[in-house]
Amino acid sequence: MSKDKIPKLFDGSVNELTKPRPKKDRKARSKDMKREKKQKTLYISLDMNRKLIELYGEEGRRQSVIVEDAVNLYYYLKLALGEKKFDELMSAVKREDPEFLREYMGRFKL
């Protein structure tokens, strides 16, 4: 085997860690990153898990779709309402009282 074919081993130096990759490697990696599946790791309470399971049963959809819908709802409500109104809404939601939440949302002019 010639020296050209032997892969170069990491020498453990700081210079080796901090020097940029060759351009051809960066371009190949960026193309792979666009196709790479993104992993979700959620740490949730048992109560939240129960709610997810209940929604999953009612909606008949995958949990990942429900979570994506929830993130979109959270994100756009925060943008639309502004910080103060959004915090008020979240405090109403945290009460976990559907009737109170209906009354509270009835105050919004939708």
Count of the separate structural domains present in the chain: 1
Examine residue 25 and state whether it is found in any structural domain, yes or no: no
Gyration radius of the chain's alpha carbons = 24
Task: Tell me: pLDDT of 76 over 90.
Answer: yes
Q: What are 7-61's pLDDT values in tens digits?
A: 666 666 666 666 666 666 666 666 655 555 566 666 778 888 888 888 888 888 7
Domain ranges, residue 68: 46-106
Closest by Cα among 87, 92, 94, 91 to 102:
92
Report whether pLDDT(108) > 80: no
Evaluate whether residue 18 is within a structural domain. Answer: no
On whether residue 10 sits in a domain, the answer given is: no
In the prediction, which pLDDT does 105 show? 87
- Is residue 27 one of the residues assigned to a domain? no
Per-residue burial over 74-101, b if 16 or more Cβ lie within 10 Å, else e, is eeeeeeeeeeeeeeebeeeeeeeeeeee
Is residue 75 in a domain?
yes
pLDDT digits (tens, 9 = 90+) for 93-102: 999 999 999 9
Question: Is residue 67, in this structure, part of any structural domain at all?
Answer: yes
Give dist(CA 105, CA 108) in Å, integer: 5
pTM of the model: 0.55
- Distinct helix (H) and strand (E) counts, the chain: 5, 0
